[in-house]
Amino acid sequence: MKLFLKSFFTLFFAITTIFFALRLTPGDPVERLLGPEAKVEEIQKYRAELGLDKGLVEQYFDFAKGIITLDLGMSFFKKESVVTLIKQNLPPTLVLALISILISTPIGIGIGVVSAIKKSQLPDTTIRVITLTLLSFPIFSLAPLLVLVFSIKLGIFPVSQWESVMHMVIPVTTLVLPLSSVIVRVMRNKYLEEESQLWVLVLNAKGLTNSAIIYRLVKICMPTILNVVAIQLSVVLAGTVITETIFDIPGLGSLLFEAINNRDYPLVQGIIAYSTVIYMLVYVLVDYLNEKIDPRIG
């Protein structure tokens, strides 16, 4: 019940914030649709057709009703159902995000453990410098750099589109590098924190092998890592907006970027609502996995 209420208020906060933020942002979608030459009568007529002549409160309740009934309205610019557009563009984004997380998590855990075991030694120092460097690169800088090196200079991977595995490599790498770097640093710190606990000394005294102790330490660190991955999902979803736009991937991120530019209120609101629901479902899954890994959490 507590998780349900938390999820409900998260969704309520997200859709309310985006609803009012869109309408406070400069720019009229109707004027953008009709162009600067449009007459006042045409603008007023079109605003009435789109329901923009209503008061903000009435518009908000219409939107909230649509969320409940799963009717998110029609896109102002594309003249298609928002739900249909989201369903068409959702798969590439889910694939991009899922592959990035599935690759980043084991890599981050493995390298983080190595960094912790080799604390203050050359491997640890090297790993920390590399991860810090990668984290200092924003996605909008990292993506063009990867394109320049691996597509333009070396000609190994295609620059854009989403047609084959080769097309996926650079977009996925763009998200994997910063995400795995975060996991590496969190894993290293949590591992060292747990390693200093008394129970580890007890296991050593009992003659347990290093591999057995490492396994137990990693297992204890997993709830923290899963929580980090869940939090980073929002970063990944935000990153897909930039990544999909740069690499011309027909996903939810590039659709959102286009919708924001066009002040397409229903489409932006619908995408944010869907993204929030996905984020909430991931949190439910993480809570479930945490309870399975460590029953004390439940």
Over residues 107-117, the pLDDT tens digits come to: 999 999 999 99
What number is the average pLDDT over the span 10-36? 82
On the 0-12 / 13-18 / 19+ scale of CB atoms within 10 A, 37 is exposed
- Residue 103's pLDDT band (boundaries 50, 70, 90)? very high
Q: Could you state, in order of their start, the residue ranges of all structural domains in the chain?
A: 99-250
Let me know: does 50 contact 56? Beta carbons within 8 Å. no
Residues 212 and 155: beta-carbon distance below 8 Å: no
First-to-last C-alpha distance (Å) of the chain: 13
Q: Which backbone phi and psi does 74 adopt, to 5 degrees?
A: -110, 145
pLDDT at 123: 93
Predicted pLDDT at 102:
93
Q: Which residue has the higher pLDDT, 34 or 20?
A: 20
Determine the pLDDT at residue 1: 62
Percentage, residues of the chain above pLDDT 70:
97
Residue 165 CA to residue 278 CA, distance in Å, equals: 25
Model confidence pLDDT, tens digit, residues 195-232: 888 888 888 788 888 888 899 999 889 989 988 988 88
54 vs 161: CA distance, rounded Å: 41
Report the mean per-residue pLDDT for the chain.
Answer: 86
In this predicted structure, what is the pLDDT of residue 85? 94
**Confidence (pLDDT) at 73:** 86
* pTM for the whole structure: 0.82
Q: What does R_g of the chain's alpha carbons equal in angstroms?
A: 23
Rounded CA-CA distance 188/124 in Å is 9
Token duo for residue 213 = 């102790």
pLDDT of residue 294: 63
Contacts 24+ apart (CB under 8 A), 71-75: 72/266, 72/269, 72/270, 72/273, 73/266, 73/270, 74/266, 75/259, 75/264, 75/266, 75/267
pLDDT of 51 above 90: no
The mean pLDDT of 66-79, rounded to a whole number, is 86
DSSP label of 35: -
- Return d(Cα 110, Cα 188) in angstroms, integer: 10
pLDDT band at 133 (very low <50, low <70, confident <90, very high): very high
pLDDT the model gives residue 298: 47
Chain segment 147-206, per-residue pLDDT in tens: 888 888 888 888 777 778 888 899 999 999 999 999 999 999 999 998 888 888 888 788
Of 272, 273, 298, nearest to 286 by C-alpha is 298
Instruction: Give the pLDDT of residue 128.
Output: 95
